[in-house]
């Protein structure tokens, strides 16, 4: 049975508690974001590096697209860091236990998640490129003059890189690009 079918078929909101397989933690976390309205919350053990990406600030090396999507939709709290010696057999990685819950007032509307993810993936897809070039490379940028107007409307420097922007700015960019399509 599909996870989404199971969660949507439950009699009441479901709370997920899991030690996520480290090799597929990011896709599972993204799946849970899409199911957030049917979840009471989720508490997950992940590799510490995944936790760092979810909690990172704009401009840091750990800041990620998945972190942006989480900040727009849920609250993420690091409850505990665990050393490999806490487990048997001992893994080669450090772990973090996270508590995740829906935001009372999500910044992202339900119907926006997929499009915002597309824009955020493009913005983070080429960290050394400017945001304008990353959007062009992904086929998401309107013609150059229109893109310049979008950047001007949002108060963005044309040389800005996507990984330096706050989640709210990336959301506004996605909304403006959606309207321009």
Number of domains in the chain: 2
- The string of pLDDT tens digits covering residues 128-181 is 899 999 999 999 988 999 999 999 999 999 999 999 999 999 999 999 999 987
From 102, 137, 159, give the residue that closes a domain. Answer: 102
pTM for this model (two decimals):
0.92
Query: Could you write out the DSSP letters of every residue in 50-91?
Result: HHHHHHPPTTSTT--HHHHHHHHHEEEEEEEEE-GGGSSSPP
Of 68, 84, 102, at which residue does a domain stop? 102
Residue ending a domain, among 102, 132, 160, is 102
Q: Which pLDDT value is given to residue 1?
A: 59
Look up residue 79 and give its two tokens.
């409850």
């Amino acid at each position: 049975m599909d996870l989404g079918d199971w969660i949507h078929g439950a009699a009441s909101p479901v709370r997920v508690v899991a030690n996520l397989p480290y090799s597929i933690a990011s896709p599972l976390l993204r799946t849970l974001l899409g199911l957030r309205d049917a979840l009471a919350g989720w508490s997950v053990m992940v590799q510490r590096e995944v936790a760092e990406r979810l909690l990172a600030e704009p401009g840091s090396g750990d800041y990620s697209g998945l972190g942006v999507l989480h900040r727009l939709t849920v609250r993420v709290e690091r409850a505990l860091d665990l050393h490999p010696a806490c487990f048997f057999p001992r893994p080669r990685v450090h772990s973090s236990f996270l508590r995740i819950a829906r935001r009372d007032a999500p910044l992202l509307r339900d119907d926006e998640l997929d499009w915002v993810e597309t824009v955020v993936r493009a913005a983070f897809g080429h960290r050394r490129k400017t945001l304008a070039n990353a959007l062009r490379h992904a086929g998401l940028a309107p013609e150059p003059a229109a893109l310049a107007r979008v950047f001007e409307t949002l108060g963005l420097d044309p040389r800005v890189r996507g990984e330096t922007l706050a989640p709210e700015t990336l959301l506004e960019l996605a909304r403006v690009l959606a309207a321009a399509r």
